[in-house]
Copies of this chain bind each other. A is one copy, B any other.
Amino acid sequence: MRKKVSIKDVADALGVSKTLVSFVLNNKTEKHGINAETRQRVLDKIKEMNYSPNQAARGLRTGKSNAVGLIIADIANPFYSRIARSIEDQARKKGYQLLICSSDEIAEREIELIQLLSDTGQVEGIIISTTQSDAKMLGAIYKDNFPIVLIDRYFEESGIPTVIVNNEEGAYSAVEKLITNGMKRIGMLTISPSFISSVRDRVKGYKKALKENNMKFDKKLLREIPFDNLRDSVRKEVMELLSPPNKADAIFLANNNLAVAAIEVINEMGLRIPNDVALVSFDDIELFQLTQPGITAVSQPIEQMGKEAFYMLERQINGEEENKPGRVVLETELKVRRSCGSVMKP
């Protein structure tokens, strides 16, 4: 194998002790009153010998891995990959590595991943968009003082620090837009499992918008799509929604995956958006500004979510508990494009 210069090699080459080199390495020279000149000699030698400290050894000794974990459904999903990028930037800035793991929304796999990361000491904390149905597991780990931050999805009473957006409000604004634009039968595609808080809140917002506009909620217009058979299921449900007796004139999609699949079906059916069916989706992915017509979508402040989440995690790692971060709720923004029809519609 390759390079193997250790702290001892540097110390020997210099005729000093490992301690001294270590002090220099960790900026502890001031504290110990080391000569600036000595310090420089060490620094030079380190560079000359191209030494860098072994992470495993350092981690073993200090109990810190300088890494944090991110567990999401799928790194190939643009929503999560953008979240990941944002967290990666924050983490690197603070000298942390990021370990990204995809759970595919499988609860047991997620548990395995959490244990893999936490029990082995591979990471000092985890940011997770969880697919657990309740707070039991994560709550226990958190109580046990392992740093955790929930992102995108939360549990009501867990006390685990959380970053989410105002999903209900976002959904509400989306559906209200459709109503304003004259839509009368607004369907919604949501995703199961239905205990996922973000999705649940989007359904709430949908219902609230209907109610406040004196439109009665027709449960035949609300369809739940299983995560693991998304495409086929969307095809079936969209077709049903658009045909008699349902005859929806608009559909609100609970996330980008659903929207992508729905657009596909609608295209295939030869229907026009928004004339035959108006569309609004949650998650504003790049695609939505490029389709013709553009897709109206609820945009989430992804950058900021990642930033807040990492900050919350960092506080826990550093034991700054007094100033407890609690739950951060960020606002969404409705990006209006042509897919939602227009007020001019007859």
List chain A positions with a Cβ less than 8 A from chain B.
1-3, 50, 52-57, 59-60, 63, 65, 67, 74-78, 81-82, 84-85, 88-89, 92, 97-102, 115, 118-122, 141, 144-146, 260, 263-264, 267, 286-287, 289-292
- The answer to whether A287 touches B287 (Cβ under 8 A) is yes
- Contact among B65, B92, B290 for A267, CB-based, below 8 A: B290
Q: Write out the residue numbers on chain B whose beta carbons fall within 8 Å of the beta carbon of A141.
A: 2
Pair B84/A75 contact, Cβ less than 8 Å: yes
17 contacts between A and B (CB under 8 A): A1-B63, A1-B146, A2-B118, A2-B145, A52-B115, A56-B59, A74-B85, A75-B81, A75-B100, A76-B81, A78-B81, A89-B102, A97-B99, A260-B286, A264-B289, A287-B291, A290-B291
Are the C-beta atoms of B82 and A121 separated by less than 8 Å?
no
Complex: A55 Cα to B99 Cα, angstroms: 14
Given the complex, which residues of B lie within 8 Å of A56, measured CB to CB?
55-57, 59-60, 65, 121
Q: In this complex, what residue of B is CB-closest to A295? A: B290
- Copies of this chain in the oligomer: 2
Residue of B nearest to A65 (CB): B56
Q: Which residues of B contact A291 (CB under 8 A)?
A: 287, 290-292
| A88 with B60: CB separation less than 8 A | no
Q: How far, in angstroms, from A75 to B121 measured CA to CA in the complex?
A: 25
A119 engages B3 (CB within 8 Å): yes
The answer to whether A101 and B78 have CB atoms under 8 Å apart is: no
> In the complex the two chains form, what is the Cα distance from A50 to B141 in whole Å?
13
A88 touches B75 (CB 8 A): yes
Which residue of the partner chain, among B1, B88, B102, B267, contacts A292 with CB atoms under 8 Å? B267
Most B C-beta atoms less than 10 A away, residue of A57, A77, A118: A57
Which A-B residue pairs are the 5 nearest by beta carbons?
A56-B59, A81-B81, A52-B119, A76-B85, A56-B60
List 5 additional contacts besides A75-B100, A260-B290; criterion CB under 8 Å. A2-B141, A54-B60, A56-B57, A75-B84, A88-B102
Chain B hits for A67, CB < 8 A: 99
In the complex, chain B residues whose CB is within 8 Å of the CB of A99: 67, 97-99
In the bound complex, residues from chain B placing their C-beta under 8 Å from that of A77 are: 81
Give Cα distance in the complex from A213 to B78, angstroms.
39
Which of B1, B85, B121 interacts with A54 by CB under 8 Å?
Answer: B121
Give, as a whole number of angstroms, the nearest-CB distance from A83 to chain B: 9
CA distance A121 to B92 in the complex (A): 17
Closest chain B residue to A69, Cβ basis: B97
Q: How far is the CB of A333 from chain B (nearest CB, A)?
A: 19
Residues of B within 8 A of A57 (CB): 56, 60
| B65–A76 CB distance below 8 A | no
Residues A85 and B78 in contact, CB atoms below 8 Å apart: no
> Once bound together, how far apart are the Cα atoms of A77 and B285, in whole Å?
12
Chain B residue at smallest Cβ distance from A264: B290
